[in-house]
Structure 1
Amino acid sequence: MKATLRPQLGQSIQLTPQLLQSIRLLQLTAPQLEQELRQALERNPLLEQDEEPEEPAAEADPDAAARDAAAWDELPEPAFLSGGNAAGEWDEDAGARVAASASSDPRQRLLQQLALHWAPRELALAAWWLDHCDDRGYLEQPLEELLRAGARHWALPARELELARQRLLHGDWPGMAAADAGECLRAQLAALPPTPARALAERILRERLDLLAAHDAAALAAALDAAPEQVRAAVALILGLRPHPVEELPASGHEALVPDVVAWKADGAWRVALNGRAAPRLRIAAHCERALAAAPGEAGALRGLLEEARWLVRGVAMRHDTLLRTAQVLVERQRAFLERGEEAIAPLTLREVADAIGMHESTVSRIVNGKYLQTPRGTFELKRLFAVRLEGAEVSGSAVKAMVKRLIDAEPAHAPLADDVIAGLLARQGVRVARRTVAKYRDQLSIAPARLRRRSPRQAKAG
């Protein structure tokens, strides 16, 4: 074999420690940022807390902060942030390697786990599937529609996309990206050691889910030709499974919910402002900066602390600016939701918000995770203002789900609405959805089918 040298031209991005710090500050929640800044006050004598009322102009140069953001965020080659480089080779996103606490977004937590043993290309497919899952981990649209859309988006055979979904389904969080509750429960059962009870439980989920929902153990035993005690063991195994695959963060018991942004309506317009009490405001001690400027060539260690303090103040200013601009776009796009409620929430994606503020989707994803918005309608996480557009409609899936719940809540107790009837009522309101879509949202709301919701007038009066 003859060794040869071959020149190759490529681009690479090197993130400086200062930029990595800026990225990390974007991800911090309000309590984490407060802790970070208080530690910086104790560690760096050149920093002091700013007790004065906040002025409209930020301490840090906004143009400089924007340039710093552009260095990693508004890149000419999007391949950097999707796991590739200029040579077409897959590599990890350097920004994703920044140390951070557990995200409040379950999809982000799962992707962090998968990144340990999934190839970058496979991880990108997993992220696509997770983007089409609701907060409980179920697919938000029918599987066949998603496979067609994914095949067009990725220019891949549907079989390869389904393979990635199956890896999620039977992976670290069994049942993730399941099409329905039955598939989720079967995936969880498959992760358990093989036993006679597990085999019978799989048969129940596959063949007699209706009898399981009716809690009719005797009918199950007769239908499956099994002993009553075997059926009880199988049912107990099923009841021990999680109703949805998403693993929740362990409750800390001591973290307070601190809104990062406040939105209110005044003079017919919605206004947005940062919560000044969310974290202490820092500034560089002016007398220390003047003293160092008058002593050129001396106090090298203090000059290093001064540079560190400048980068911290600038990074915090960039975080606040990005958070405020993101919140302003979200409130403006979802003002109907803030005024009228869940049924008015509009379809909105990370890309649309990123385009509006001139940054990358990864920045928006980082800045909304764990950040809370206080509104007259309540306090909730910013990511709740994102909603997936229902295919073939001009409304979001969250809005349709709220409509389904409203119709079922108002139905007569003795004549509950079937799924196809609900679909017809929605069509009269200009929202055309399939019966199976109504059934999917009803399942997500943990509402039983119409035949199980029917009650006699006497029962309704007693209830």
Structure 2
Amino acid sequence: MKGSLRVGMVQGVNLTPQLLQSIRLLQLTAPQLEQELRQALERNPLLEQEEPGDEPEDESTAETAALEAAAWDELPEPAFLSGGSVGAADDDASARIAEGESSDPRLRLLRLLDLHWAPADLEVAAWWLDHCDDRGYLEQPLDALLAAARAAFPARAGDVGVLRLRLLHGDWPGMAAADARECLSAQLRALPEDAARALALRILADHVDLLAAHDEAAIAAATGAGAALVRAALAMILALRPHPVQAPVSDVHEHIVPDVLAWHAGGAWRVALNRRAAPRVRLAPHCERALAGSEHTVLRGLLDEARWLVRGVSMRNETLLRTAQVLVERQGAFLDQGPEAILPLTLREVADSIGVHESTVSRIVSGKYIQTPRGTFELKRLFAVRLEGADVSGSAVKAMVKRLIDDEPANAPLADDVIAGILARQGIRIARRTVAKYRDQLAIGPARARQRLAPRQVRQETA
């Protein structure tokens, strides 16, 4: 058997921790960013909050952030990360804008794994998640599922068990656990290593019966540990989640906090970030000077972490502001006149205007809100698909359909083909079934269901 060498090119993405943090900051909404920054202020003593009276960010820092924003171009497409098809060149990528946090924990976790798992591994992970219950535990015995996974992925038979362990000790520690003991142990191993954690792992492994009985004295006698250490270990175990599934970040009942503000002044639309939505953080100048040239590992690590956070937030804000400016400039007629004036606009057009990739625009507008004189709504509402064969957007035509139905006579509602005819006389040619589709999206019934008696007829029948 002769050996041979083969030379080839493989496309790959090296996602460093800094890049992963940048991606996450890019996708955070205003409330999420506020929580992230407040936690960073508590965790890192080298960060400090800028007060309203402080001097604004200097021009050199802003210029650096603007230049480094080009690094978003290197971020891969979400479809590329997940192994899906990138799509045809004329696809409208705005259809891929995220709809917010899913209520399905499997989809939320897969979206998170998209950032740093290979597509082939992600397919196996999806299989394991499909065999987990709503709490995140395996629905069948582990041995049976391992055999089924090897049969489902014969080429990866040796990896399916390893990938389950990677899920178990991954972003949601305890996910795909066989039982509560394995779930809690995985959560413990994700905590910093110390004596209490080591004892807690021993208790879970060898003394679950004593743990269930809350018998501290018996646990101390069985493990030879002191009473204080036993109490610390038990407190650590009791603080763990009973199941690995994490709740969605956003709550449907939470108040909307706009990320961007838009207003009309001086004959033009102006845009600004909502600075009240999140604290502004910076490196403490005296700490940075004191650590210049320092070799202290821990402090240097905190300094690097603080620098990456400040830089990442600055890049996020710069990208969000430039995106919002383009959206408001292009959709000024919509803000002035209403939904019927919204123009066709795609992710690709906005991305070309600000010099980034369309996947970057998709990330930055997901879940973000803009406050305007016309109301507060999601940024993605300012995108609109061009109606085939016309110079108007589908969103504008949908608004026209709604206006025609709202203005129709009560006793003579307009049928779908009649609405299509009216629009055709205005130069907008669409099929009857397209009118029916828009009507369904507006939750409006067909003409027969909308028919009502005119006020005169009501009075005559009542008499």
Range class of TM-score, shorter chain? 0.5 to 0.7
2:106, 2:410 → 1: CA distance?
A: 41
Residue 6 of structure 2 corresponds to which residue in structure 1?
Answer: 6
**Secondary structure of the equivalent of 2:291?**
helix
Displacement, 1:70? 3.3
Q: 1:108 to 1:348 in 2, by over 3 A?
A: farther
Change (3 A) 1:297 1:267: closer
Counterpart of 1:265? Answer: 264
Q: Which SS does the other structure have where 1:22 is aligned?
A: helix
Conserved in 2, the CA contact under 8 Å of 1:354 and 1:360? yes
| Alpha-carbon distance in structure 1 between the residues aligned to 2:289 and 2:386 | 55
In structure 1, the residue matched to 2:26 is 26
Residue in 2 aligned with 1:289? 288
- Could you say what secondary structure the match of 1:347 adopts? coil
Q: What does 1:374-453 correspond to in 2, within 5 Å?
A: 374-453=371-450
CA distance 1:368–1:349, shift in 2 (3 Å): same
Change (3 A) 1:330 1:379: same
| 8 Å CA contact retained: 2:66, 2:318 | no
Distance 1:335 1:308 in 2: 40
Q: Deviations over 1:206-232 (max 9, x none)?
A: xxxxxxxxxxxxxxxxxxxxxxxxxxx
Distance (whole Å) between structure 1 residues aligned to residue 263 and residue 449 of structure 2 = 43
Shift of 1:447: 2.0
Q: Which amino acid aligns with 1:284?
A: L
The answer to whether the 8 A contact 2:101-2:249 is kept is: no
**2:278 alignment counterpart:** 279
Task: Quote the residue 2:77 is aligned against.
Answer: 81
Tell me: CA distance 1:111–1:3, structure 2 relative to 1, closer, same or farther (3 Å).
farther
Specify the code of the residue in structure 2 equivalent to 1:456.
Answer: L
Per-residue CA shift, 1:65-122, capped at 9, x if unaligned?
3454434x324xx9x537569xxx96899xxxxxxxx9617699997678799x969x
Unmatched 5+ residue regions in structure 1? Answer: 94-101, 124-248
Query: Which structure: larger Rg?
Result: 2
Q: In the TM superposition, what whole-angstrom CA distance separates every residue of 1:241-266 from its partner, at most 9, and x where no partner exists?
A: xxxxxxxx898366321101000001
**Deviations 1:129-176 (Å, cap 9, x if unpaired)?**
xxxxxxxxxxxxxxxxxxxxxxxxxxxxxxxxxxxxxxxxxxxxxxxx
Kept in 2, the 8 Å contact 1:59–1:283? The answer is no
Number of the residue aligned with 2:16: 16
Superposed displacement of residue 361, structure 1: 1.2
Aligned counterparts of 1:31 and 1:10: Cα–Cα separation in 2: 39
The count of aligned residue pairs is 319
The code of the aligned residue for 2:422 comes to L
Secondary structure at the counterpart of residue 74 of structure 1: helix
SS of the residue corresponding to residue 441 of structure 1 reads: helix
Deviation at 1:419, TM superposition (A): 1.5
1:60 and 1:314 in contact (8 A); partners too: no
CA distance in 2, matches of 1:335, 1:298: 54
User: CA offset at residue 58 of structure 1?
Assistant: 5.1
* CA distance 1:376–1:112, change in 2 (3 Å): same
The equivalent of 2:341 in structure 1 is: 344
Query: Could you tell me how far 1:37 is from its partner in structure 2?
Result: 0.3
Please say if residues 46 and 306 of structure 2, whose CA atoms lie closer than 8 Å, have aligned partners that are also in contact.
yes
> 1-side partners of 2:419 and 2:357: how far apart?
39
TM-score, normalization by structure 1: 0.61
- Residues 282/57 of structure 1: CA separation in 2 closer, same or farther (3 Å cut): closer
Taking the aligned partners of 1:92 and 1:311, their CA distance within structure 2 comes to 32
The answer for the alignment partner of 2:227 in structure 1 is: none
Spell out, residue by residue over 1:279-310, the C-alpha distance to the aligned partner (whole angstroms, 9 max, x if none): 000011111112222xx344332122111111
**One-letter code of the match for 1:279?**
A
CA distance in 2, matches of 1:326, 1:375: 15
Answer whether contact 1:92 1:120 (CA < 8 A) is retained. no
In 1, Cα distance between equivalents of 2:19 and 2:386: 34
RMSD: 3.5
Instruction: Write the deviation string for residues 386-435 of structure 1: whole angstroms up to 9, x where unpaired.
Output: 11111111111111111111111111112211222211211222222122
| Aligned residue number for residue 49 of structure 1 | 49
In the alignment, structure 1 residue 302 sits paired with structure 2 residue 299: yes
Identity, % of aligned positions: 69
Structure 1 residues 65 and 105: alpha-carbon distance in aligned structure 2, compared to 1, 3 A threshold: same
Q: Distance in 2 between matches of 1:92 and 1:444?
A: 27
**1:461, 1:379 → 2: CA distance?**
40
With over 3 angstroms needed to count, the CA separation of the structure-2 counterparts of 1:51 and 1:250, relative to structure 1, is: closer
Aligned match of 1:355: 352
CA distance in 2, matches of 1:398, 1:338: 14
In structure 2, runs of 5+ residues without a counterpart are 87-97, 123-247
Question: Amino acid of the residue matched to residue 288 of structure 1?
Answer: C
Tell me, yes or no, if the aligned pair for 2:398 and 2:438 is still in contact at 8 Å: yes
CA distance 1:355–1:331, shift in 2 (3 Å)? same
SS at match of 1:277: helix
Following superposition of structure 1 onto structure 2, how do residues 201-280 of structure 1 map, counting pairs within 5 Å?
A: 252=251, 255-280=254-279
Q: How far, CA to CA, are the matches of 2:442 and 2:308 in structure 1?
A: 47
TM-score, normalized by length of structure 2?
Answer: 0.61
In structure 2, C-alpha distance between the alignment counterparts of 1:426 and 1:109, rounded to whole Å: 44
Distance 1:282-1:84 versus aligned 2 partners, 3 A rule: closer
Q: Give the AA of the match of 1:47.
A: L
> What is the rounded CA distance, in whole Å, between the counterparts of 1:399 and 1:56 in structure 2?
41
> Which amino acid in 1 is paired with 2:40?
A
Asked if the contact 1:422–1:438 (Cα under 8 Å) also holds between the matched residues in 2, the reply is yes
| Matched residue, 2:100 | 104
Deviation, 1:16, is 2.1
Change (3 A) 1:44 1:113: closer
Amino acid across the alignment from 2:23: I
CA contact (8 A) 1:419 1:439 kept: yes
The question of whether the paired residues in 2 share the 8 Å contact of 1:44 and 1:309 is answered with yes
Q: Which amino acid aligns with 2:412?
A: A
How many Å separate the matches in 1 of 2:425 and 2:104?
Answer: 38
Is the partner of 2:261 in helix, strand or coil? Answer: strand
CA contact (8 A) 1:265 1:271 kept: yes
For 2:268, the aligned partner's letter is: A
